[in-house]
Amino acid sequence: MSKSKKEQTNSNPEERILKTEFSEEMSKSYLDYAMSVIVSRAIPDIRDGLKPVQRRTLYAMYELGVKHDKPHRKSARIVGDTMGKYHPHGDSSIYEALVVMAQDWKKEEILVDGHGNFGSIEGDGAAAARYTEARLSELSELAFLADLDKDVVDFVPNFDETEKEPVVLPVKIPNILVNGAEGIAVGMRTSIPTHNLREVLEAMKILLKKPSVTTEELMETLPGPDFPTGGIVINRDELLSIYESGTGRIRLRGKIELEPGRHKSDRSSLVVSEIPYTMIGSGIAKFISDVAALIESKKLPEVTDISNQSSKEGIRLVFELKNGSDPERVKNILYKKTGLEDTFGVNMLAVVDGTPQTVGLKQILQENIRFQIDLNTRKYTHLLQKEREKAEVQEGLIRAIDIIDLIIEIIRGSKTVKDAKACLMGDPARVTFKSQKSRQAAEHLDFTERQATAILEMRLSKLIGLEILSLNKEHDKTVKLIEQYEKVLSSPRAMTNTIVRELDALIAHFGRERRTLITEAEAAHEVKEEVVEQELMFAVDRFGYAKTYDLSVFSRNEEAIRKENRQVFLCKNTGKIYLFTDTGRLHQLKVADIPAARARDKGSPLDNLCNYDSREERVVGIFPDADLETEKFLFVTETGMVKVVAGNEFISSRKTVAATKLAEGDRVLTVEVLSGAQLVLRTEERCALRFAVSEISEMKKASAGVHGIQLAEGDRVKEASQVSPRARSEQAGHEAADWSSVRLSHRGARGVRQKKKQSE
């Protein structure tokens, strides 16, 4: 089939089959879908800062008349109207959007005034739509929907072409900055932080008056984000780059305050009164859980009690401290080890002129100024037209009052309203007059159709003197409004001043101080106390439970400790323990992380102390760091591979490294400190081989080694032992087999088959 599109006519003239390359059709369809998701679902429009579902919900509420000073209406009714008229994508997405617009801990300025259970900052969900009520907030009504009746935005048919909906709401503020935005589309996402309304509008005023202003100068007025949860931004020096490029990371911290005890005997407490914006929802419960885990693992011993005293008044997480504790150390641990210090990823992506673009602070304000100019141009054009029509009627009525007698005569001489209107417009042919003079006067009348209609509809009460005076005053007012509107439309300066006045009114009514503190601070670091170096005894039992003993405890219980544990050796509290496993990996753990034990304590599983996983691997050698610095190690695998490696090869800052190279299906049998002159290997098929260790070359850790014994098919090495091993008191309990009956040979031989012992 040709890759070009071809049309083939079927026998039925109404049917048409379109043949096309499958890959082309898939590519086109996917791009169409992606753009639909980007523009029509997930990414907000830069002009009103709203996604379609938010815009449609607010417009449906506007049509329902649920204004800020009217009673609340059931959320289910609002959701139903929105879904039935404008957004046929399910009620859950509409109600979720409604709920978020009512949550003051997610939005800098709420757009919906919710009544009932709309969730909580701690992650509690909102009640069902049938239980909650809502209405527009005052800001939504005054700054988002106020001028919809003045032809300021275009309207398009809804999904079934039975209603009209606005393409964009006539929002008077840069809502995309004030309330931020979050959304995930196809291949892209947007994440815009919230900002202080007053600061955003002040920055917009500066840009209106001075278009050449730089982002850095704008940031003197708008220094950074202002989150509804407060908190502290600690990377002020990076904000300029973020606002210029539209991308970056904002570092956030919660606010912690020290509350001393009321009395000398009372303990002091650290109180978290503000949290990072990223912690809202389930993050608070996770934070408390993480702190509890730090206390349990002895990494935060200063905290004796945790209590969540949060209420409608705000967040209050209280951590009671031991007497004599260092609050700064606790703060640093909380910042370092929990979500109390976090990052907010910024990606200021918005739909600009129908396409998604990453925009900076200045461009967002520029686009909103352009939008405000367009809105005001359309608004004042509409108002000017209305005032001109009103002036036309007023001028007609004023003229009519001066010739009221003639008009009465015209009305009395007309058979129909149509005849009277035609006469007022200069065609008296079908009107009967009392005199020729009146007819001649009527021939000079030139009222417009609108004026003629108004004159015929005029009440006689308008002829009262005060009413005539009021009409003249009203006309003077209309003339002044026409001059004002014409000036706004013809003068860029007047347009700018008009927008500035609107912004000043919004600042005066809705402006407030910022919640988030912006500063420059170092990233949290854990304050480490100086550790006095001391020697300890490390022990691990046959079940893999490890512990350390103080030397005084060990000396009093040495016999019992050695009997209960498979390996015991000396180490330092500032050192490390190294574990070789049969999978060829080396795990390390700090001695400081191993719990100190009393004589009969069980200890902690090695699984919990390092990356070792007992389900997948088996420990074949455990050594202190002192051995790695001074000794050489002998490796033996189940397929008979052997090698010697210097211990310093394994010293690394990584917790887990590869200790050797293994063939597929092979495993490490044992790792020992090189201590004997000869090595004896015994296989499952009872073959044994003894050879000099000097025949094994020293290699790098990444090597596979050399053949120690030649194995028959299906056979594997079962035991390995160095002959005449150096005595090591730390390895009590390990008894070498008697290999004196195995004759000395060379590495790589097949070995000698041994007779089966009676005990076997």
| Active site residue ranges | 131
E strands, 138-240, are 155-157, 164-166, 181-184, 189-192, 232-233
Task: Report the candidate in 446, 336, 332 with the shortest Cα–Cα distance to residue 399.
Answer: 446
* Contact indicator for 182, 57 with CB cutoff of 8 Å: no
Distance from C-alpha of 696 to C-alpha of 706, rounded to nearest angstrom: 7
Phi, psi dihedrals of residue 600, rounded to the nearest 5°: -105, 10
Token couple for 132 = 């909650």
* Contact indicator for 299, 337 with CB cutoff of 8 Å: yes
Token couple for 592 = 């400081």
Strand 535-540 relative to strand 155-157, pairing: unpaired
Spell out the residues 6+ positions from residue 701 whose beta carbon is closer than 8 angstroms to its own: 645, 649, 650, 658, 659, 660
Kind plus residue range of the DSSP H or E element containing 307: strand 303-308
Spell out the residues 6+ positions from residue 315 whose beta carbon is closer than 8 angstroms to its own: 121, 229, 272, 273, 274, 275, 284
* Contact indicator for 736, 669 with CB cutoff of 8 Å: no
Distance from C-alpha of 67 to C-alpha of 487, rounded to nearest angstrom: 33
Q: CA dist 531 to 572, 575, 652, Å?
A: 11, 11, 22
Q: How many CB atoms lie within 10 A of CB 133?
A: 18
Distance from C-alpha of 343 to C-alpha of 386, rounded to nearest angstrom: 53
Chain centre to alpha carbon of residue 134? 26
The CA-based dihedral angle spanning residues 334, 340, 343, 346, taken in that order and rounded to the nearest 10 degrees:
-170
Q: How many CB atoms lie within 10 A of CB 433?
A: 18
Distance from C-alpha of 367 to C-alpha of 354, rounded to nearest angstrom: 13
* Contact indicator for 277, 227 with CB cutoff of 8 Å: yes
Residue 684 forms beta bridges with which residues? none
Distance from C-alpha of 333 to C-alpha of 318, rounded to nearest angstrom: 15
